[in-house]
Structure 1
Amino acid sequence: MRLPALILAFLVLFAAPAFAAPALLERLDNTPRVAVISAFPPEIGALTAATVDAETIDVHGVRFTTGRLEGKPVVVFLSGVSMVNAAMTTQMALDHFNITRIVFSGIAGGVDETLDIGDVVVADQWAQNLESAFARETDKGFDVSPSIRNSTLPNFGMIYPRGVLLPGADLARPARVWFPSDPALLETARKVAGQVALRRCDADKCLVHPPKVVVGGHGVSAPVFLDNADYRKYLRSAFEARLVDMESAAVAHVALVNKTPFIAFRSLSDLAGGGAGANEMHTFMALASDNSATVVKAFVRALAN
């Protein structure tokens, strides 16, 4: 009768590691740092060039550069384009580095008709505009179950915006549409907004209006490059959006869950389909990227240690 008991004890002993708590992720650097992020190479050049004492660490193909930017300890990296990439790499940075604040720098499409290409916009909250339900079309119009539609935002044809249920949230709680920028970081952005000189020309290409820094309002993000006048008008009406990009709301989402202050600086490279001719992004991408980086460097310089 003792043999089965011995076998059971043996199995429990050697199976125990499978049920052990997972090991903590390796912290690669303990220095408190500001995470400075851009989506793709044209946006980050001026920021990496200004980072001194730089050292690069590769994590699963993502290159994290530590150093000092405008006197502040930073880790600078590319998120990759689009929402999943941005969420993944931001979480990687939070897991492996001691991140105190998250700052995004890049380009965007302009949605607010009062803004111009080259302007740098700092939204005070972000929404994921294509977190949505695609409605069934019937003889009586579109049909969306109340259990699927959890937002009062108006639809764009079959597309009905939804909020996001955060991990671990009570299903009875309202879904979240908006993800905030940090109020203290927004205040710092307001202080530096009038202190920076933005570029109006790049080689033989010049902007019609002198660019400016605008702090406040709504931004939206989705894994879609927007170049459509009708949907642009919809975003302005439904979300009161000032700009649209492909990453910021995802990073704001990750920052909120991790309780880490977040802010994004986006310079308008195009009008998201609102211009009279072809999309302007490739014409003004370099100028817009540099304008965003200029504001971000002034912002990081102004941050408290």
Structure 2
Amino acid sequence: MRPYLGLITVYSPEEDAFFATGAFKHNPKHPFVNLSGRRFRVGSIEGSKVIYVRCGVGMVNAAAATQQMLDVFRMIGIVNFGIAGNVNCSMSMGDVIIPKQFAQTGLWDWVKFKATIPTNDVAELDFGSCDVPNGGDNELGSIGTLWFQTSQNWLEVSSSLEGMALEQCVNSSLCLPEKPKVVVGLNGATANIFVDNAAYREFLYTTFHVSSLDMESAVIVMTCLSNGFKVIVIRGLSDLAGAQDGDNTIRLFGPLAASNVAKAVVQFVKTLRGFHFQQSI
């Protein structure tokens, strides 16, 4: 029996956009399994067996739902998808990003003053260099964090999505100034923080060179890797994480970002099926 491909999203607008594609077909005999308050929906997309779940907001929910899926069902790997904040000025709202790696920017190694960052940490922030106005030492020391890599061969498969057509308009009177695009191979960040602050947004971009911010992806990647499963993340950019004038635009452009990312997920599943078929010949 062929294993399932797992699909994990976060909250209802993303779920609504996914089901609105019409691509997911429920298994007529066993359409779902309820586990610990979550409904794992069993079905298929274009002949590929999939199990879909909405995990809920935040890192704890994401890790729990991912581990449940891997423990209970026979899986090939997991696709995490949803919306995210945009922190890269070369990207636009409505764009879809498929990162190569994620930092947990709420999980730090915070070391003593003048101590050395652990060698397995790959990103560092030295607080002394941030002193205003002159910079220099302070007793806050420095912090480091880790990168979690998505599956390289799935990332290569996803590169075929670059150039696919995405929606530009929420409705007839609300459109983005440019046609959205799919971009593969940048960096993302995850923390239990909804970022709507321009200064913190700039800090995350300049320090870690991340392009998207969300509250689930890194732990889903980490959970899959620790269990030996493939994983990829597909996120639609819904807002500017505090760089905008006035109110956050997630309520305006969140549905558009969710729709674009749902279409990208369906296309990835179709492409991945073709990739595995070719590998089996």
1:197 aligns with 2:165: yes
Q: Distance in 1 between matches of 2:126 and 2:266?
A: 39
Q: Secondary structure at the match of 2:160?
A: helix
Q: Tell me the residue number matched to 2:50.
A: 74
Task: Point out where structure 2 has 5 or more consecutive residues left out of the alignment.
Answer: 131-139
> Equivalents in 2 of 1:87, 1:62: separation in Å?
13
Q: Shift of the alpha carbon at 1:67?
A: 0.5
Aligned-partner Cα distance in 2 for 1:149–1:228: 31
Task: Quote how far apart the aligned CAs of 1:41 are.
Answer: 1.1
1:51 paired residue number: 24
Does structure 1 residue 271 correspond to structure 2 residue 240? yes
Match of 1:244 in 2: 213
Residue 89 (structure 2) pairs with residue 113 (structure 1): yes
Within 5 Å, give how 1:217-236 maps onto structure 2.
217-236=186-205
Matched, 1:87 2:56: no
What's the offset of the Cα at 1:274? 1.3
Select 2:184's aligned residue among 215, 220, 223. 215
Instruction: Specify whether residues 59 and 225 from structure 1 end up closer, same or farther in structure 2 by C-alpha distance, changes over 3 A only.
Output: same
Which of the residues 72, 79, 84 maps onto 1:96? 72
Paired letter, 2:108: S
Q: Report if aligned partners of 2:114, 2:141 keep a CA contact under 8 Å in 1.
A: no
CA deviation string 1:130-150 (max 9, x = no partner): 1125688xxxxxx47558897
Aligned length: 256
Alignment of 1:183 with 2:156, yes or no, is no
Specify the SS of the correspondent of 1:295.
helix
TM-score, length-normalised on structure 2? 0.85
Alignment partners' CA distance in 2, 1:253 and 1:182: 11
Asked if 1:60 corresponds to 2:60, the answer is no
- The within-5 A match list for 1:277-296 is 277-296=246-265
Deviations for 1:198-221, whole angstroms, at most 9, x for unmatched residues? 111112321121100000111000
Q: Which amino acid aligns with 1:199?
A: E
Secondary structure of the corresponding residue to residue 154 of structure 1: strand
Q: Please tell me whether the aligned partners of residues 217 and 233 of structure 2 are also in contact (alpha carbons under 8 angstroms).
A: yes
Which residue does the alignment assign to 1:130? 106
| Matched-pair identity in % | 36
- Compare CA radii of gyration and give the structure with the larger one: 1
- Contact 1:127-1:221 within 8 A present in 2 as well: yes
Query: Which stretch of structure 1 is more off in the superposition, 196-205 or 279-288?
Result: 196-205
TM-score, normalised with respect to structure 1:
0.78
Name the SS of the counterpart of 1:64 in structure 2.
Answer: strand
Amino acid at match of 2:192: P
- Structure 1 contact 190–215 (Cα < 8 Å) conserved: yes
Q: Which amino acid aligns with 1:91?
A: Q
CA contact (8 A) 2:117 2:124 kept: no
Q: After superposition, give the CA deviation of every residue in 1:246-282 in whole Å (9 maximum; x if it has no partner).
A: 1000101101101111111111000111112321111
Amino acid at match of 1:71: G
